[in-house]
């Protein structure tokens, strides 16, 4: 085989190898993206199921309320239980961790217990035994609904590390493909280098080669890797409309709806308003979106001098962030600064590394400034960072 033919063969083999590696790398990228989407769907459905069981229990309490129609509320509770059972069954199919699957199975069992308790409460309510119905609803009903919510939270906590290990395996495969392709390129370059010096060139052929004009290299260009894609733009018109609606709030119950809109603008899975107590020593979760009541109860209060982003944003009166990774959400904590000082913070659990976007942090700070108008002045006993 001639030297030119050998080089062509090596080049073709290298191109085929790079193409195969690129195809495998692309498959790994798609698998990782699908993995992230599935995890986001699992977390979203688990949170929604927790909210649904709380709503179902609230509707059940209407059985014993004065002036309420039993037929309407029993029909609503039955529909909610059926919907929740379907949602938990679908969530069980999404779970990849064996422990998470076992937790969801336990949640289904607890839901069946809740349904049996609901039938007893209905019988008591229909027969006019409201005292017995109240005992069943407010004692057994509370414990059973809490059991369902606790199992769902445990399932989420078990699924996240399992998914993180799977994502890590995919990332390792991507790094191995990149390293293997680089090593293969060096190997083929060495082959070409040694092939160029193995045969001396003699005679007329050498003269012909020497007489050939050098190629024109002016048309060659250097291609650099494309920079990282920028973060998706923040919906500024939606943020402006939200701030305008916050300025018109007269009923505190409207805050929850507006927090839902704020979460969509920030791409946040949940938002909590932490308000300082009168002494300014602790931060109390006062309003939230995306978290169940049980989850908020487990959080408790945060000392004002704690070593975390929430307390630091409160003490310093400026935005703090918590960096996320490929599976774990990040966080943006913006202070609620009033003329009297910092009255609390707005903490948003954001997805897709949005905490690293300067625009998203700025919009979160604007939302917090508008929310601060609803909170009022900070406690005088605990002076904090003043507004500029």
Query: pTM of the prediction?
Result: 0.42
Average per-residue pLDDT in the chain? Answer: 78
Dump pLDDT digits (tens) for 162-204: 777 777 777 777 778 777 777 777 776 777 666 554 444 444 4
Q: Does domain 22-171 have CATH number 3.40.50.1980?
A: no
**Residue 302 has which token pair?**
């945060």
**Residue 238 has which token pair?**
């939606």
| pLDDT, position 230 | 63
Spatial separation of the C-alpha atoms in residues 227 and 191, rounded to whole Å: 32
Spatial separation of the C-alpha atoms in residues 160 and 43, rounded to whole Å: 9
**Residue 98 has which token pair?**
């064996």
| pLDDT, position 192 | 67
**C-alpha distances in angstroms, 200 versus 5, 116, 190?**
16, 92, 18
Domain boundaries, the chain: 22-171, 236-375
Of 46-50, 87-91, 362-366, the one with minimum mean pLDDT is: 46-50
User: Closest Cα partner for 28 from 189, 168, 219?
Assistant: 168
| pLDDT, position 30 | 78
Average the pLDDT over 241-264 and give the result: 87
Residue found under tokens 């019988």? 123
Binning pLDDT at 50, 70 and 90, where does residue 62 land?
Answer: confident
Percent of the chain with pLDDT over 90: 21
Do domains 22-171 and 236-375 share one topology? The answer is no
Spatial separation of the C-alpha atoms in residues 146 and 114, rounded to whole Å: 10
Residue found under tokens 């085929």? 16
Binning pLDDT at 50, 70 and 90, where does residue 116 land?
Answer: confident
CA dihedral 172, 178, 184, 190 (to 10 degrees): -120
CATH superfamily of 236-375: GAF domain (3.30.450.40)
Binning pLDDT at 50, 70 and 90, where does residue 93 land?
Answer: confident
Dump pLDDT digits (tens) for 152-161: 888 888 878 7
| pLDDT, position 380 | 36
| Ramachandran angles phi, psi of 226, nearest 5° | -65, 140
* CA contacts within 13 A on the Cβ side of 108: 16
């Amino acid at each position: 085989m001639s030297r030119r033919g050998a080089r062509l063969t090596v080049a073709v083999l290298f191109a085929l190898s790079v193409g195969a590696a690129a195809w495998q790398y692309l498959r790994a990228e798609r698998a990782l993206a699908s993995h992230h989407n599935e995890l986001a769907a699992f977390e979203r459905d688990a949170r929604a199921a927790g909210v649904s069981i709380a709503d179902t229990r609230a509707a059940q309490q209407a059985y014993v309320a004065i002036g309420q129609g039993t037929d309407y509320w029993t029909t609503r509770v039955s529909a909610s239980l059926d919907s929740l059972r379907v949602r938990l069954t679908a969530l069980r199919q999404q779970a990849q961790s064996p422990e998470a699957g076992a937790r969801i199975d336990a949640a289904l069992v607890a839901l069946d217990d809740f349904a049996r308790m609901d039938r007893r409460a209905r019988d008591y309510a229909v027969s006019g035994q409201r005292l017995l119905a109240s005992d069943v609803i407010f004692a057994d009903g509370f414990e059973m609904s809490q059991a369902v919510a606790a199992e769902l939270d445990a399932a989420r906590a078990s699924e996240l590390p399992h998914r993180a290990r799977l994502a890590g395996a995919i990332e390792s495969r991507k790094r191995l493909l990149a390293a293997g392709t680089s090593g293969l390129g060096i190997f083929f370059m060495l082959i070409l280098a040694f092939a160029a010096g193995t045969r001396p060139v003699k005679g007329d052929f050498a003269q012909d080669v020497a007489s050939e004009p050098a190629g024109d290299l002016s048309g060659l260009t250097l291609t650099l890797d494309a920079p990282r894609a920028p973060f998706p733009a923040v919906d500024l018109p939606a943020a402006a409309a939200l701030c305008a609606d916050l300025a018109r709030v007269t009923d505190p119950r409207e805050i929850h709806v507006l927090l839902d809109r704020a979460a969509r603008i920030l791409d946040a899975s949940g938002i909590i308003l932490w308000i300082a107590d009168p002494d300014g020593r602790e931060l109390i979760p006062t309003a939230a979106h995306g978290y169940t009541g049980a989850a908020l109860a487990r959080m408790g209060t945060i000392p004002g001098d704690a070593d975390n982003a929430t307390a630091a944003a409160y003490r310093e009166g400026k935005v703090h962030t918590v960096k996320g990774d490929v599976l774990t959400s990040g966080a943006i904590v913006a202070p609620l600064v009033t003329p009297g000082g910092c009255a609390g913070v707005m903490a948003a659990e954001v997805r897709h590394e949005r905490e690293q976007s300067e625009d998203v942090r700025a919009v979160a700070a604007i939302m917090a400034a508008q929310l601060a108008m609803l909170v009022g002045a900070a406690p005088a006993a605990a002076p904090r960072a003043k507004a500029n």
